[in-house]
Homo-oligomer: A and B are copies of this chain.
């Protein structure tokens, strides 16, 4: 058996998200189907981040073990030959046995993209949220940085979330303005479901001047999801990269 680490990019438009479900095209399901074909038996694939329906990835990481003797390069070619063009395997590496894409991940980086202009860019409509009208970008930027550190993010988890330990460490949370694009770049050791999208919704409330920095601090302290800004749509969210520290040292590639 060889354990592989595959780095994936995908356009989440029209997909039901990472996780295999009873019906619909999931990234996990499509990859497992291709590997089952290669291996001649079912293969379980673990993903670093369980991206929701419509969320995109530039550097999702998946792990799985194969009995078949195959080089990482040929495996990458075989997977790309059978996967739809919206999902691409960018890189494959052979890892030490037991490498696990989710459990071994040290940090993950997400990006949320906002197209901030009167008229939507037609090439961004599936990859950015369209926001019209004045935004106080400096206030949003300061609020983003205030989220850095270890906090209880219960106020930012998906409604009905059942996770009990809602403390997470955000290593970096920065708003970057690039012409008409506003990008929230957030790196953390872990994320609650919908956490990035609820943070962006809250930052937009601040940008609109409806809320201020004190509200954000009170919101974190409240641990109350009903107090946060709306969860922004999935199509602006990208899983950018997963970092494994030393655990990412491949056996070879």
Contacts and interface: CB of A to CB of B under 8 A. Distances in A.
Chain A: interface size category: 10 to 19
Contacts of A123: 9, 11, 56, 127
A125 B11 CA distance: 10
Interface stretch (A86-94, A101-109, A153-161, A216-224): A86-94
B119 A85 contact: no
B9 A88 contact: no
A10 B119 contact: no
Nearest to A86: B122
Given A85-B125, A125-B85, A119 B80 contact: yes
22 contacts: A9-B121, A9-B122, A9-B123, A10-B122, A11-B122, A11-B123, A56-B123, A76-B119, A80-B119, A85-B120, A85-B122, A85-B125, A86-B122, A86-B125, A87-B122, A88-B119, A88-B120, A88-B121, A88-B122, A89-B119, A90-B119, A123-B127
Nearest to A8: B122
Contacts of A11: 122-123
A88 B125 CA distance: 11
Interface in A125-159: 125, 127
Q: What 8 pairs across the A-B complex have the smallest Cβ distances?
A: A11-B122, A88-B122, A85-B125, A86-B122, A88-B119, A9-B122, A90-B119, A10-B122
Contacts of A56: 123
Greatest chain B CB density within 10 A among A80, A123, A127 is at A123
Interface string A64-108: 000000000000100010000111111000000000000000000
Given A9-B123, A11-B122, 5 more contacts: A10-B122, A11-B123, A85-B120, A88-B119, A88-B121
